Amino acid sequence: MAGNGPKVGVLALQGDFREHLAVLRGLGADAVPVRRAAELDEIGGLVIPGGESSVMDKLSRAFGLAEPLRAAISDGLPVYGTCAGLIMLADRVLDGIAGQQTLGGLDVAVRRNAFGSQVDSFETDLDIPAVGEQPMHAVFIRAPIVESVGENATALAQVADGRVVAVEQGNLLGTSFHPEITGDTRFHEYFLQKVADAQRVGDDARVQWTSFQA
C-alpha cells in the first residue's frame, strides 16, 4: 500500500526488491517497483537491492534502463544500493565477469563475493555513527567489500578487520550488508532523509526560477 511520504522506487529486475518495498512502505514512503525507464521520472529516490550484480547489469541494459539510470544518478537522484546494489553503484569492480558494467557514481572500488560463498555468510554488529549511537546488526550474504575509497566518497562503517562495508557520496549510499532483512530500519530512514532533502532543494530551485521569470 502507498504511504503518504516521498515516492521512491526499488529496482525490480532481480533480487530481494520485495523486502525493500516492505521496509520503505512501513516507514510511510510511497514505494513502487521500477522496471522501465519512464518510471524514473515519477520517483524522488531509488533503491537498488541485493541479488546478482552481473545479472542485474545485463537486465538493466536489456530493459533500456542502464543509460537512463546513469543520467538520473548524474543529475542527483538519491540512490541506495545494498550488496549487489553497492556493486552497481561503484565506479570500479575489481573482479567483475567479462563485460560486466556498473552504473557508477560512487568513487569506490569493490570486490564481489569478497567474504566467500553462500556458506560463508555471517552476521556481526557494526558501529555506524551516521545512523545512530547504537550498533547495527548486519547480515552479510555473499557480500562485496569496498577495497578502496576515493577522495569523493566517505566510509561509514567497517568490519573488525578494518575493511569498509558502507559508504556515502552526496545523494548516493551503499552497504555491503542487508538491512532490509534485520528489522533495523535506520539506513532506510537515512536514505529517505536524503530523498526529502533533495526534494526540498529542488522545490527551492523551482521557486527561485519562477520568481526570476516573474
Per-residue tens of pLDDT for the chain, all 214 residues? 455 689 999 999 999 999 999 999 999 999 999 999 999 999 999 999 999 999 999 999 999 999 999 999 999 999 999 999 999 999 999 999 999 999 999 999 999 988 877 766 899 999 999 999 999 999 999 999 999 999 999 999 999 999 999 999 999 999 999 999 999 999 999 999 999 999 887 665 444 544 445 5
Q: Which residue in 20, 168, 180, 188 is the catalytic one?
A: 180
What is the Cα 141 distance to its own chain's centre?
A: 16
Three cell numbers, residue 205? 530551485
Strands 172-175 and 164-169: antiparallel
Q: Which residue in 20, 83, 168, 188 is the catalytic one?
A: 83
Told to judge if 83 belongs to the known catalytic residues of this protein, a careful annotator would answer yes
Q: In the 8-state DSSP scheme, what is residue 121?
A: -
Q: Which residue in 52, 67, 123, 178 is the catalytic one?
A: 178
Three cell numbers, residue 18? 520485495
Q: In whole angstroms, give the CA distance from residue 123 to residue 117.
A: 14
* Gap between the terminal Cα atoms of the chain: 40
Q: Which residues pair with 173 in a beta bridge?
A: 80, 168
What pTM did the predictor assign?
A: 0.91
CA angle, residues 67, 56, 189, in degrees to nearest 5? 85
Q: In whole angstroms, give the CA distance from residue 201 to residue 57.
A: 31
